Structure 1
Amino acid sequence: MRRGRDAGGAAGQVATALREEILGGRLPGGSPVREQDVAERLGVSRTPVREAVSRLVAEGLLIKDGNHTAHVFRPSLAELLEIYEIRMPLESLAARLACTGADEAFLDRLEAAGRALTEARSGVDWSVKHEAFHMCLVAGSRRPRLEALVRTLRVQSEPYVRLGLAFDADFGERARRDHEDIVRLVRARAADELEDLVRRHLEATSSRVSTLLEDHQMPPPPPAPGRAT
């Protein structure tokens, strides 16, 4: 591992290295990520590895089992479809509410979030700004419970979006066009068209990532320890 310093320090470098290994397929879904092994392999102490693992758990790229061992997120087609099935009516409703109640301050925030997303670098930077854009739209509904529900579901589904970015070169460009149209329709107060676009945007993401999961033949997760197969 390079010894050069960056804004994130050693933990940031470890997180970047692990993230690249996960998205590049060198750490397949379900692989255990043990702090000592990573520390020895990258030539660092366990402290930055522990912090890096916590960051990737927060991002959804790693999960921890009942024994607190980190494993690489393993995509599940059934989970993907369920999450998006719930998200579609909630986010399309939030978009309609945001559109009908939009004021200039909200429009300015949404346009700024859209510009930040357009200018984002690929990978995690894009994912963070993608999440910020959509949650800005949802927050415009001014329904705190609806916003909390959507936020929880989006956290669970964001790793699937990263999968799309990692394996589909056109994924980001198609999303960019939809995001620009979302801003345009909110400014035009076109609530019906916006509601339909948000639903189609989510349907397209779900469909494309489902295809990627099937193409890459992701295996089912192993049975939990102590349970019969």
Structure 2
Amino acid sequence: MADPAAGPTKTGLAVTSSSALAAETLRQMIFSGQLRAREFVHEQQLARQLGMSRTPVREAIRDLCTQGLLVRNEKGQASVFAPSAGDLQEIYRIRLLLEPDAVRESVANRSAESTDEIRRQLEVLEGAAPGAEWAAAHAALHRAMIAATAGRRLPELIMSLRLQSDPYARMFISTDPTFREGAAADHRQMAVQAAAGLADEAAETVARHLRRTKSRLDEMVEREIWT
């Protein structure tokens, strides 16, 4: 089990307390598909699994509801957010407004350490097995791309939006070889540009990467594959 003081985790978010550990565990369960859309989250079961009291678990569930990863029904039961096509389209519109600028700022502020981390995460991603391993590596690369952004709220907001959308975007990666090849090329290009300090170019590659996924989603909506 992860150490609560271990710092950045697979989803790129820091763990600093028992409630943060519980929240990060839930994020990873959602992100990997272990917890699926509309599946209920049971407070007592998770507390037992983590070996902690129900209080930090309750706080974690509340925090993830605030972030939009969990939702409560009229009985107060928490379940995994299941976005509609419209929800995902909105998420990608917001990400297109935020993420390229965050990458531009992060690359401009880059250090030797942040550059090395981008290179390392690209290598991990390119060697990752499909499924949960690839998903974790994908999130880690995108987190590394914005790690040098000033402040913490913008990176955390972006990663929260990614957590809401990536489990569904992965279906494009797994079922469409052409889309998968394009995404892989984008990942390499953005990492190379970031390492070279090409802030505007890296930002545009990230924007193109997001537009590619959003366009694929728009096509599915138009064909009434997803509503």
Please indicate the TM-score interval, normalised by the length of the shorter structure.
0.5 to 0.7
Distance 1:196 1:129, change over 3 A: same
- Read off the aligned partner of 1:141 and give its amino acid letter: T
Q: Is contact 1:75-1:213 (8 Å) kept?
A: no
How many angstroms apart in 1 are the aligned matches of 2:143 and 2:41?
33
Is 1:147 aligned to 2:147, yes or no? no
Deviation readout 1:88-108 (Å, 9 max, x if unpaired): 121111111111111211110
Offset, 1:19: 5.2
How many angstroms apart in 2 are the aligned matches of 1:120 and 1:89?
29
2:7 alignment counterpart: none
| Greater Rg by CA | 1
How many angstroms apart in 2 are the aligned matches of 1:201 and 1:217?
22
Give the match's secondary structure for 2:158.
helix
Deviation readout 1:201-225 (Å, 9 max, x if unpaired): 1111111133245546235xxxxxx
Give the match's secondary structure for 1:155.
helix
Give the match's secondary structure for 1:139.
coil
Offset, 1:166: 3.5
How many angstroms apart in 1 are the aligned matches of 2:80 and 2:106?
36
2:180 alignment counterpart: 172
Is 1:200 aligned to 2:208, yes or no? yes
Q: Is contact 2:145-2:191 (8 Å) kept?
A: no
Offset, 1:85: 0.7
Offset, 1:141: 1.4
Deviation readout 1:24-45 (Å, 9 max, x if unpaired): xxxxx76x7899xxxxxxxxxx
Q: Is contact 1:167-1:212 (8 Å) kept?
A: no
Offset, 1:193: 1.3
Give the match's secondary structure for 1:152.
helix
Question: How much is the aligned-residue C-alpha RMSD, in angstroms?
Answer: 3.5
Offset, 1:83: 0.4
Give the match's secondary structure for 1:177.
helix
Greater shift, 116-125 or 72-81, is seen at 72-81
How many angstroms apart in 1 are the aligned matches of 2:207 and 2:156?
19
How many angstroms apart in 2 are the aligned matches of 1:124 and 1:86?
25
Is 1:122 aligned to 2:126, yes or no? no
Q: Is contact 2:104-2:202 (8 Å) kept?
A: yes
- Read off the aligned partner of 1:131 and give its amino acid letter: A
How many angstroms apart in 1 are the aligned matches of 2:135 and 2:198?
27
Across the two proteins, how many residue pairs are aligned to each other? 181
Offset, 1:195: 1.5
2:105 alignment counterpart: 97
TM-score (norm 1): 0.64
Is 1:210 aligned to 2:215, yes or no? no
Give the match's secondary structure for 1:170.
helix
Offset, 1:147: 0.9
Distance 1:163 1:63, change over 3 A: farther
2:92 alignment counterpart: 84
Greater shift, 163-172 or 65-74, is seen at 65-74
Greater shift, 164-173 or 79-88, is seen at 164-173
Question: Which residues of 2 match residues 1-229 of structure 1 at below 5 A?
Answer: 65-66=72-73, 67=75, 74-215=82-223, 217-219=225-227
Segments of 5+ residues of structure 1 without an aligned counterpart are 1-14, 23-28, 36-46, 220-229
Q: Is contact 1:114-1:180 (8 Å) kept?
A: yes
Give the percent of matched residue pairs that are identical in Structure 1 and Structure 2: 31
